[in-house]
């Protein structure tokens, strides 16, 4: 593939990618051909949406059933004061359209659930979980594991954030792109880290405890970075690792994690074959055989 695959305007817009040996015109063309679904257009979703749009991801899906509130604006930077009362998917889509006309935006003004996820997420290359509740996190995890769809997960609490990447495709990421590697350690999934959600009501949300406004910007940018790496094949993804960030003392720690062979979703003897078999209420338990 040559520079001629990009038109003059695109060569100008993405010039800082094109001149990088690791990305180049081929990597930029891959981004323009890619599709990423962002689940949540709030604190985490805002930077994910903005930076994937700026990077030139050709098709960007946005799922959210909420409307913009003034209290969101302290951290949800894809929205503005004039958007208060507007559906978040509409506000975010308008922001993307102003930022980059190369990007086609698909909006889904709904709450993702087991009945709708396949119709919404079925033809995206990568999913970014920027949700704010355990039910959606487990749903995204289970669906992505069952369909071999790469998933970037992020979560925040007060001053702290975490990011991990789940990719069960049996490939590893290298500087020349995704490489088939049957000997690679299988990627652990979210259920390997957290087999069950905590009891409802035991983990307060940001409306109760607050959140540092700049925190989701940092964590969401890392998620967007992971999505770009998954599409282009550059670098090493956060598979098998959890990145922990503490804004209060400005510390970053990466913890290695391994797949749980007894995991009901990605383990050696899985117990489910579809998200329809799981109740995503309460503690999001997977039924035992």
Catalytically active residues are 206
CA distance 166 to 122: 17
76 touches 43 (CB < 8 A): yes
Ramachandran bin of 183, using left for φ above 0, alpha for ψ from -120 to 50, beta for the remaining angles:
alpha
Q: Answer yes or no: are the C-beta atoms of 46 and 216 closer than 8 Å.
A: yes
Tokens standing for residue 168: 């069960």
CA distance 230 to 172: 10
89 φ, ψ (degrees, to nearest 5): -65, -35
- Selection from 136, 279, 130, 260 nearest residue 195 by Cα: 260
Strands (E), the chain: 35-39, 59-63, 104-108, 126-129, 151-157, 160-166, 171-174, 177-180, 241-246, 251-256
């Amino acid at each position: 593939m040559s520079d001629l695959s990009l038109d003059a305007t695109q060569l100008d817009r993405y010039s800082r990618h094109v001149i990088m040996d690791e990305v180049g015109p081929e990597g930029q063309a891959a981004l323009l051909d890619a599709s990423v679904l962002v689940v949540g257009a709030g604190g985490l979703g805002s930077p994910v949406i903005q930076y994937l749009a700026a990077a030139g991801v050709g098709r960007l899906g946005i799922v959210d059933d909420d409307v913009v509130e003034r209290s969101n604006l302290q951290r949800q930077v894809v929205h503005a004061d004039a958007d208060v009362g507007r559906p978040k998917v509409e506000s975010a889509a308008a922001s993307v359209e102003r930022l980059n006309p190369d990007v086609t935006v698909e909006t889904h003004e709904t709450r993702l659930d087991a009945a709708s996820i396949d119709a919404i997420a079925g033809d995206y290359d990568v999913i970014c979980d920027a949700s704010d509740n355990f039910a959606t996190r487990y749903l995204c995890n289970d669906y992505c594991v069952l369909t071999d769809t790469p998933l970037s997960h992020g979560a925040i609490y007060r001053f702290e954030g975490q990011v991990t990447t789940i990719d069960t495709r049996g490939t590893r990421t290298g500087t020349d792109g995704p490489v088939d590697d049957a000997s690679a350690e299988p990627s652990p999934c979210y259920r390997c880290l957290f087999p069950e959600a905590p009891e409802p009501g035991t983990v307060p949300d940001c409306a109760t405890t607050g959140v540092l406004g700049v925190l989701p910007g940092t964590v969401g940018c890392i998620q967007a970075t992971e999505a770009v790496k998954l599409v282009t094949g550059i670098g090493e993804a956060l598979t098998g690792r959890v990145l922990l960030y503490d804004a209060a003392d400005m510390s970053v720690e990466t913890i290695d994690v391994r797949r749980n062979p007894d995991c009901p979703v990605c383990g050696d003897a899985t117990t489910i074959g579809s998200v329809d078999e799981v109740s995503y209420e309460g503690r999001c338990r997977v039924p035992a055989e």
